[in-house]
Amino acid sequence: MVDATHGPDAHAAEFPDVELYHPRSWWTRYVFSQDAKVIAIQYASTALAIGMLALVLSWLMRMQLAFPGFLTFIDAAAYYQFITMHGMIMVIYLITALFLGGFGNYLIPLMLGARDMVFPYVNMLSYWTYLLAVLVLVASWFTPGGPTGAGWTLYPPQAILSNTPGQESGIVLMLVSLILFVIGFTMGGLNYIVTVLQGRTRGMTLMRMPLTVWGIFIATVMAMLAFPALFVACVMMLFDKLLGTSFFMPALVEMGELLPHDGGSPILFQHLFWFFGHPEVYIVALPAFGIVSDLISTHARKNIFGYRMMVWAIVIIGALSFVVWAHHMYVSGMNPYFGFFFAVTTLIIAVPTAIKVYNWVLTLWRGDIHLNPPMLFALAFIVTFVNGGLTGLFLGNVVVDVPLSDTMFVVAHFHMVMGVAPILVIFGAIYHWYPKITGRMLDNTLAHLHFWVTFLGAYLIFFPMHYLGIMGVPRRYFESGDISFQPPSAHDLNIFITVMALIVGAAQLVFVFNLIWSIRHGKPSGGNPWRATTLEWQTPETPPVHGNFGRELPVVYRWAYDYSVPGAAEDFIPQNQPGTNPPHSEAPKKRRGAKS
Amino acid sequence: MVVAVVLVLIVVGSVVFHFLSPWWWTPIASNWGYIDNTIIITFWITGAVFAAVVLFVAYCVWRFRHKDGQKADYEPENKRLENWLMGLTAVGVAAMLIPGLFVWGQFISVPAEATEAEVVGAQWQWAYRLPGADGKLGLSDTRLVAADNPYGIKPDDPNGHDDVLIEADYLHLPIDKPVKMLLRSVDTLHDFYVAEFRSKMDMIPGAVTYFWFTPTRTGQFEVLCAELCGTGHPYMRGGVVVDTQEDYDAWLAGQQTYAQLYAPEVLKTADID
């Protein structure tokens, strides 16, 4: 732990005020705003809105699986459009955008003691490009043939062939939307990276940053390296579709007719897609790791256990996640010898990931655990993430993947680990930071209702689903009732899962109601309701105004986890609290191993 | 208190569900019992870790929940504990990975005595081809696919003339004979998947993929397509019938060859080179 402190005379107001852009009208203050906090709320609202659409789509596809034929407008084409759009929206347009565009924008400047992102104008463009990407995606519903139904992985050749829904224009709009998303995200991402590297206030060394920032920072670096692969894959497929090139298209016969493509490689697309797609899993997971560390530490009133190990685990996971992508392709027909390499790298990632889990639960040990809504969601995250992470050890172990790949086991696994778990963190984070964003608390009773239904319901949806996959039920089946080896009881399980999905989905309406209702009617929160140490809770105003910190930027004297410090007056010491550090200040080094 | 109880119930419920649920794998019909064993090892290790972590959390929530006057410990790091946990995790991971890699080595090493059988996928049906008397499959090319040559077999390759073409839903295989499945597609990705054989592999237009297995049980097994291939994907079904050697020979005698069905010697040789 770096504990060098700056003298109490360190002066923060060395950046002239003119450097900060000031809005002059309502439009530039609330709509075309360059303030990261406003952009964050714009990102988050857009992501939650499009996420509600993805939620409704999941209801519809579950209705089809449990009660085939009940909703007559769902035919096979519609079903495949629903699963494709549900997956794409949830992964990219909801979770990625919300973690990085939403929490990243709101928390990075505030947690680092900066007035704003370093490139506010580009930051604004980032949001508007993202919004355009969402609108292009939604527009595909209003084109002939509708949105693409190629599955969220968009595998060619099928994605651009005529027996796939959305072949007319849906696939084109999908690819254009992804390209726009990558462009928009690159503008935002460069901002986050440069702000973390250059915009920290005095005393905020890298090893004093809250883990939230570490998670978002490394995830953004990864996104900068991974999204280009998606970008080029989309461009190449657009060329195949619109210009008749053959990047991914071998000679093939469609409906008895030889198409003019020749020599392309479908598996090349899969490599490009998963070179993006696997880091994407961690782009979603690392911000969740970081945020949940801070939630657990704050609400257990205890420093995060093994901070340095946590930072290095984030960095190592981020690096390793670039050499595991082909574990999505064990049965793709790639050279089978790759299986050895990718199984080894994939299972190695389990080690730093497990360390993170141990450190979360060891943070609870001898803590002072306040079961506030953010803590409840953090605990639920641990349960679902451990569950989903462990089933990843089945799928990552190449030969075990052979029977399980492309079955409902995979669906259950990735929903648990990169759907349910990160979204539980998103909820916890919203309950945690809503008071800072609005100055009011969310209603506690509604929060508990939302929590219990969401957590238990999601577990009851996805835990039993694994067993359908072990039985061998394939995923992406519009109808699965007539599979020979499936007992009738499997259909009962499908009905149960669907009913739970409807209930869990409905519980999200409670959450949305709480979000809107509490803006006006919530209990006033004060500036630091959770008695937290990090800088965003130390702003002079709540919600923080333009410029975040008033006339002078805070100066940081300690790490982010000084909770329950022996000898301190209170059970937390804000990072910017000046004065001599209590005797524990060199503790991290001296006390190492003291407990063993 | 409630939280701790619920966490314990999640562990107990998950374990009980695992042992009592009626949903489990199909009775195996191939030599890949090793894969099942690896899954069982993985279940034990991961199940133990899941129970341990969640029960530990439940204990912490019960024991260290906030009470007035309680203060948390201040313990930034504990290198020894962290190293122990890291070491144990590495051992657990190795215990799953090593048998897994060993079995994978077997999975991709086709025995020399394996006979070949080709599966051709097209939206949304299966067709099969056996090498015939010479034991060799004729060369094929998607660009040759036509009404009179649905498999795209090269008419000028003599190895192909005696190939047995099975344009039906069911492929027959003899029991206890290793077979190398050669997989091919003429339009988009498909995946030849039989749950009872514990194996599957994608089929890629323009390439030939493979896996091998030995059928160990007679009977009829459903072939499913396991890679999304358009709106007809769930209806792309076929079957494999595992026969005794006598039944298999009788079935094979009733099949027709490429030469018998399409008389390639009268076809023009397409110039595609």
SS (H, E, C) chain B: CHHHHHHHHHHHHHHHHHHHCCCCCCCCCECCHHHHHHHHHHHHHHHHHHHHHHHHHHHHHHHCECCCCCCCCCCCCCHHHHHHHHHHHHHHHHHHHHHHHHHHHHHCCCCCCCEEEEEEEECCEEEEEECCCCCCCCCECHHHCECCECCCECCCCHHHCCCEEECCCEEEEECCCCEEEEEEECCCCEEEEEHHHCEEEEECECCCEEEEECECCCEEEEEEECCCCCCCHHHCEEEEEEECHHHHHHHHHCCEEHHHHHCHHHCCCCCCC
Residue A183 buriedness (CB in 10 A; 0-12 / 13-18 / 19+): middle
d(CA A151, CA A76) in angstroms, rounded, equals 12
Query: Are B96 and A397 an interchain contact pair (Cβ–Cβ within 8 Å)?
Result: yes
ipTM for the complex shown: 0.94
Nearest alpha carbon to residue A252 among A236, A240, A263:
A263
**Residue A331, min C-alpha distance to chain B (Å):** 5
Query: Are B61 and A364 an interchain contact pair (Cβ–Cβ within 8 Å)?
Result: yes
The shortest CB-CB distance from B24 to any of A252, A351, A470 is to A470
Q: Collect all residues with Cβ–Cβ distance below 8 Å to A215 and sequence separation of at least 6.
A: A286, A287, A288, A289, A290, A291, A293, A314
Please give the pLDDT value at position A21. 74
Rounded to 5 degrees, φ, ψ at A484 are -60, -40
Angstrom distances, CA of residue A439 to CA of A34, A257, A292, A541:
21, 64, 22, 9
Q: What is the DSSP string of A266-285?
A: HHHHHHHHHHHHHHHHHHHH
Angle made by CA atoms B45, B46, B52, in degrees to the nearest 5:
95
- In the chain, the amino acid numbered A426 is I
A146 touches chain B (CB under 8 A): no
CB burial of B157-170 (b: ≥16 within 10 Å; e: otherwise) equals bebbbbbbbbeeee
Please give the pLDDT value at position A264. 94
Determine if the peptide bond prior to A156 is cis (ω within 30°): no
Q: Are strands B237-243 and B190-194 parallel, antiparallel or unpaired?
A: unpaired
Sequence spans of domains, chain B: 2-66+78-107, 115-266
B66 touches chain A (CB under 8 A): yes
d(CA A156, CA A178) in angstroms, rounded, equals 16
The shortest CB-CB distance from B72 to any of A1, A366, A596 is to A366
A398 touches chain B (CB under 8 A): yes
Which 505-564 residues of chain A touch chain B by CB within 8 A? 561, 563-564
Phi/psi-derived region of residue B212, left when phi > 0, alpha when psi is between -120 and 50, beta in every other case: beta
Query: Are A355 and B86 an interchain contact pair (Cβ–Cβ within 8 Å)?
Result: yes
Give the other-Cβ count within 10 Å of B269's Cβ: 11
C-alpha A447: how far from its chain's center? 21
Query: Are B7 and A264 an interchain contact pair (Cβ–Cβ within 8 Å)?
Result: no
Query: Are B145 and A155 an interchain contact pair (Cβ–Cβ within 8 Å)?
Result: no
**Residue A234, min C-alpha distance to chain B (Å):** 18
pTM value is 0.93
Query: Are A397 and B145 an interchain contact pair (Cβ–Cβ within 8 Å)?
Result: no
Best A83, A345, A375, A400 member to test B by mutation, with max B CBs in 10 Å, is A400
Identify whether the C-beta of residue B149 lies closer than 8 Å to the C-beta of residue B141: no
Nearest alpha carbon to residue B87 among A595, A354, A306:
A354
- In the chain, the amino acid numbered B247 is D
DSSP three-state, residue A504: helix
Query: Given the structure tokens 């002079």, which residue do they identify?
Result: A540
Query: Are A251 and B142 an interchain contact pair (Cβ–Cβ within 8 Å)?
Result: yes
Please give the pLDDT value at position A9. 44
Identify whether the C-beta of residue A160 lies closer than 8 Å to the C-beta of residue A241: yes
Angstrom distances, CA of residue A530 to CA of A366, A517, B64:
19, 21, 18
CATH of B115-266, one of 1.10.260.40, 3.30.310.10, 2.60.40.420, 2.60.40.10: 2.60.40.420
Neighboring chain B residues of A77 at a CB cutoff of 8 Å:
231
Neighboring chain B residues of A472 at a CB cutoff of 8 Å:
25-26, 193, 195, 224
Residues in chain A with pLDDT values less than 50: 1-13, 18, 583-596
Please give the pLDDT value at position A589. 46
Nearest alpha carbon to residue A327 among A252, A396, A268:
A396
A368 touches chain B (CB under 8 A): yes
The torsion of the CA quartet B5, B6, B11, B14, rounded to 10 degrees, works out to 140
Identify whether the C-beta of residue B86 lies closer than 8 Å to the C-beta of residue A386: no
Please give the pLDDT value at position A581. 58
Neighboring chain B residues of A307 at a CB cutoff of 8 Å:
76-77
Q: Are strands B237-243 and B170-174 parallel, antiparallel or unpaired?
A: parallel
Identify whether the C-beta of residue A35 lies closer than 8 Å to the C-beta of residue A227: no
B17 touches chain A (CB under 8 A): yes
Nearest alpha carbon to residue B104 among B198, B11, B230, B223:
B198
B44 touches chain A (CB under 8 A): no
Q: Which residue of chain A comes nearest to B91, CA vs CA?
A: A351
Which 189-228 residues of chain A touch chain B by CB within 8 A? none
Rounded to 5 degrees, φ, ψ at A550 are 70, -150
Give the other-Cβ count within 10 Å of A545's Cβ: 13
Which token pair is B59? 């204990």
Query: Given the structure tokens 């190592």, which residue do they identify?
Result: A316
In the beta sheet, which residues pair with residue B238? Answer: B223
Query: Are A1 and B71 an interchain contact pair (Cβ–Cβ within 8 Å)?
Result: no
A487 touches chain B (CB under 8 A): yes
- In the chain, the amino acid numbered A102 is G
d(CA A471, CA A454) in angstroms, rounded, equals 27
Give me the average pLDDT of each 10-residue run along chain B (273 residues).
Answer: 95 97 95 94 94 97 92 88 93 92 94 95 94 91 89 90 91 96 95 96 95 96 96 95 96 92 62 46
Query: Are B142 and A403 an interchain contact pair (Cβ–Cβ within 8 Å)?
Result: no
Identify whether the C-beta of residue B204 lies closer than 8 Å to the C-beta of residue A328: no
Please give the pLDDT value at position A7. 46
| DSSP conformation class of A524 | B
Q: Collect all residues with Cβ–Cβ distance below 8 Å to B273 and sequence separation of at least 6.
A: none
Which 202-231 residues of chain B touch chain A by CB within 8 A? 202-207, 209, 211, 221-222, 224-231
Which token pair is A269? 């697309």
d(CA A93, CA A137) in angstroms, rounded, equals 10
Nearest alpha carbon to residue A355 among B73, B39, B92, B51:
B92
Which token pair is A472? 């061998």
Residue A333 buriedness (CB in 10 A; 0-12 / 13-18 / 19+): buried
The shortest CB-CB distance from B191 to any of A358, A406, A588 is to A406
Give the other-Cβ count within 10 Å of A338's Cβ: 15
Continuous H helices in A372-438: 373-396, 398-404, 408-414, 421-438
| Domains located in chain A, CATH noted | 34-247+263-576 (1.20.210.10)
d(CA A502, CA A413) in angstroms, rounded, equals 20
Nearest alpha carbon to residue B210 among B195, B192, B188:
B192
Nearest alpha carbon to residue A117 among A98, A99, A104, A132:
A104
Neighboring chain A residues of B187 at a CB cutoff of 8 Å:
157, 161, 252-254
A254 touches chain B (CB under 8 A): yes
Which token pair is A77? 């084409």
